[in-house]
Amino acid sequence: MTSLAQTLSGPNRNVLAISLAGLATVAVLAANTGGWRLGAAVVIGGFAGLALYHASFGFTAAWRRLVTEKRGGGLRAQFLLILLTSAVSFPLIAWGASFGMPTGGFVFPFGIAAAIGAFAFGVGMQLGGGCASGTLFTAGGGSTRMMVTLAAFIAGSVAATPHMHLWGQLPKLPAVSLVSEFGPLGAYAATAAVLALIALWSVRMEKRAHGSLAEPRATVSYLTGPWSLVAGAVAIALVGIATFIVLGRPWGITSGFALWGAKILQGVGVTVTDWPYWQWQKGALEASVFADATSVMNFGIIFGAMAAAALASKYAPVWKLSGRDLATAILGGLLMGYGARLAYGCNIGAYLGGIASGSLHGWLWLVFGFMGSLVGTRLRLKLGMG
């Protein structure tokens, strides 16, 4: 039987060593800066990167396949992820404080600005080639195009912050928590019912188009991949649940990008603290980036995906990109970054995090994000991106 050491090529062995060393270094720095919870968040992020890469678990391709191929397996895997996470998050939000685990959800008002932001994000995720988690794990896995998308994502995120107080003046619906309105059991039943109806619709559509459902991808190896979508959904649900338990709130990604961009601007002399968005976050700007839970989880995802790519012997960056690849990566990243700030986050923080918090805004984000994804998918086809 071939050992892992024999399977890995020399370059991939080196990448694996670098990724594990990077993960350990970030975990130590985070723990020393903010305590064991931040150190644990890095490890959770590392596992997320491994799972996302091995399962190729993305929201972007799943939504695109639903439209272009009438295949709904990826969408149904997302619903499994939401239901597994909500089964733990709803009771924690409702009752966690009573047994020493105070837990808060992401429950926000949703209005015109958030609708525009979610729509822009949906367009951007198709042009950029990945959502927030997808951008991180594919960039960590060695995709040079997604490294460009990530840089543009950061730029778009911080570019939105000077205008947030203006966007915030637009009309919006009040924040609504299904957990508060119906209790955790009622909220879970309602969530499961709606997701089940959409899943059944996707099954009927797929069977009408193809005669049967696509054969599910099997898990080959939990260490070297690939994983099935179900295995990926379960693993990523564990990430979301662990985040609720360790950090006391849902998993988020894009606020870290805005912080990184602001720190870069501050470093070159831009007084970002004059912007209302950052006036109440001066502490985050002054503190080490390793004190920010979202940032250290993001670093963990990147190093975890790098380790996964090395274990799969697939870490091989391609440095030559076409003009179209560069242009769409930049435009997609900018749209996602700006849109995520307006819409309280991305597919993880707003869609998964919102619905797993029992918030109405998570459902509305899904609607407008998917509408934007439809437009982005059409644009991809017109641009010959497949």
Q: Which residues contact 3 (CB under 8 A, 6 or more apart)?
A: none
Nearest to 333 by CA among 378, 376, 302, 293: 376
Q: How far is CA 1 from the centre of its chain?
A: 37
Query: Average of pLDDT values for 359-377?
Result: 97
Whether the CB-CB separation of 232 and 57 falls below 8 Å is answered with yes
Position 5 confidence tier, pLDDT thresholds 50, 70, 90: low
pLDDT digits (tens, 9 = 90+) for 252-306: 999 999 999 999 999 999 999 999 999 989 999 999 999 999 999 999 999 999 9
Cα–Cα distances in Å, from 108 out to 72, 282, 334, 355? Answer: 29, 22, 23, 11
Classify burial at 245, counting beta carbons within 10 Å of its beta carbon; exposed 0-12, middle 13-18, buried 19 or more.
middle
Whether the CB-CB separation of 273 and 17 falls below 8 Å is answered with no
pLDDT at 1 over 50: no
Work out the number of other CB atoms within 10 angstroms of the CB of residue 215: 7
Distance CA(58)–CA(64), nearest Å, equals 10
Cα–Cα distances in Å, from 173 out to 114, 120, 148, 243? Answer: 10, 19, 35, 28
Query: Average of pLDDT values for 362-370?
Result: 97
Nearest to 326 by CA among 146, 153, 156: 146
Q: Degrees (nearest 5) of the Cα angle 325, 66, 313?
A: 55
Choose the weakest-confidence range: 2-11, 82-91, 221-230: 2-11
Query: Average of pLDDT values for 98-117?
Result: 95
pLDDT digits (tens, 9 = 90+) for 328-348: 999 999 999 999 999 999 999
Position 4 confidence tier, pLDDT thresholds 50, 70, 90: low
Mode of pairing for the β-strands spanning 110-111 and 172-173: antiparallel
Q: H-helix or E-strand containing 172?
A: strand 172-173
Q: Degrees (nearest 5) of the Cα angle 187, 188, 190?
A: 65
Predicted pLDDT of residue 7: 59
Predicted pLDDT of residue 11: 74
Q: Is 358 helix (H, G, I), strand (E, B) or coil?
A: coil
Choose the weakest-confidence range: 70-79, 167-176, 312-321: 312-321
Share of the chain above pLDDT 70, in %: 97
pLDDT at 9 over 80: no
Whether the CB-CB separation of 365 and 351 falls below 8 Å is answered with yes
Structure tokens at 326: 């560069």
Model pTM above 0.85: yes
Predicted pLDDT of residue 132: 87
DSSP state of 3: -
- Which one-letter amino acid corresponds to residue 311? L
DSSP state of 221: -
| Averaged pLDDT score across all residues of the chain | 94
Q: How many CA atoms lie within 13 A of 214 on its CB side?
A: 18
Distance CA(344)–CA(281), nearest Å, equals 16
pLDDT at 3 over 90: no
pLDDT at 69 over 50: yes
Predicted pLDDT of residue 165: 94
Predicted pLDDT of residue 12: 85
Whether the CB-CB separation of 373 and 64 falls below 8 Å is answered with yes
- Which one-letter amino acid corresponds to residue 259? L
The string of DSSP codes covering 60-113 is HHHHHHHHHT---HHHHHHHHHHHHHHHHHHHHHHHGGGGT---------EEHH
